[in-house]
A and B are shown apart, each in its own frame.
Chain A
Amino acid sequence: MTLHGTCRDNAGVAVIDFSGRITLGEGSALLRETIRELVRGGKKKILINLADVDYIDSAGIGELVSGYTSVSNAGGELKLLNLTKRVHDLLQITKLFTVFDVQNEEWTAIHSFK
């Protein structure tokens, strides 16, 4: 299943709604380019909504980590929203819960940005 992503603004936070699989190839490339474009455009608050993403492979994890690092290096924050069980479990076993701020509710997530 191809990955689709749409960007929207919610109270100054760039929210990206992804659906599909984030895997090596087109999926990981779309994730990379989307975050890169937002950072280039000066966005400092990025929220990735993964409610409709039930599969991420190691390449997809790598892109999430890369995005987190590039946004942080630019002085911004990247957070994750609405993880499916499989993605939740994946971040748990890879200990990436200790890296990402994971939110379950968009309103709360939006107001958690500094």
Chain B
Amino acid sequence: MLPIHRDFSEIFDPGMAPQTKRIELMLETVLDSVDLAESIVMRICDAAGFSEEDCHKIGMSVREGVINAYNYGNQQDRRKKIFFTVEFEPDKIVVHIIDQGKGFEVADVPDPLAAENLLRTSGRGIFLMRAFMDEFAVQHGPEGGAELVMAKRLPLSGRQNGGDPAARDKES
């Protein structure tokens, strides 16, 4: 995996009014994309002022989302891509993960907490994303694959400055 050295705090421009900002990446359908997406989103969340625990939860949710796209959506087909988008709204961070598979209905995913499913070796990814994020939905992507949309509200200190860590640092 390529190391990520970029300081993502630069995306929060202190001179700009709070508004939606967006980062889009097209990932290969390879295992390294899972670590890459997790690593990127954790750096972004750290720069946005999320706590270490929230960064962990968001990172793990992105990891599970990209695993879903890699394994189940694109079925490890390297010709297909995974589209990974992070949006910054004044009060939350929103992540989209889109695959090029056939899509699925979230209602069809078995409940991993049901007694008969506890010993299943797979099927916990959706549950973990739901548990760790404030908002989670599955919809059909523009090409028919699955689009996972998940959001986490910014901590109050970051929200007051539209997620701008530079302004937050000045206050402290």
Contacts and interface: CB of A to CB of B under 8 A. Distances in A.
Given A24-B34, A24-B67, A57-B64, A65 B113 contact: no
A61 B124 contact: yes
B119 A65 contact: yes
A93 interface: yes
Contact of A99 (B34, B67, B119, B122): B119
Majority-rule SS of B interface residues: helix
Nearest to A66: B121
Interface in A35-77: 55, 57-59, 61-63, 65-66, 68-69
Interface residues of B, number: 21
Majority-rule SS of A interface residues: helix
Contacts, number: 51
Interface residues of A, number: 22
Contacts of A65: 118-121
A62 B112 CA distance: 11
- What are the 7 A-B residue pairs with the smallest beta carbon separation, nearest first? A62-B121, A58-B124, A58-B125, A66-B121, A25-B31, A95-B113, A62-B122
Interface of B: 31, 34-35, 56, 60, 63-64, 67, 71, 112-113, 118-122, 124-125, 127-128, 131
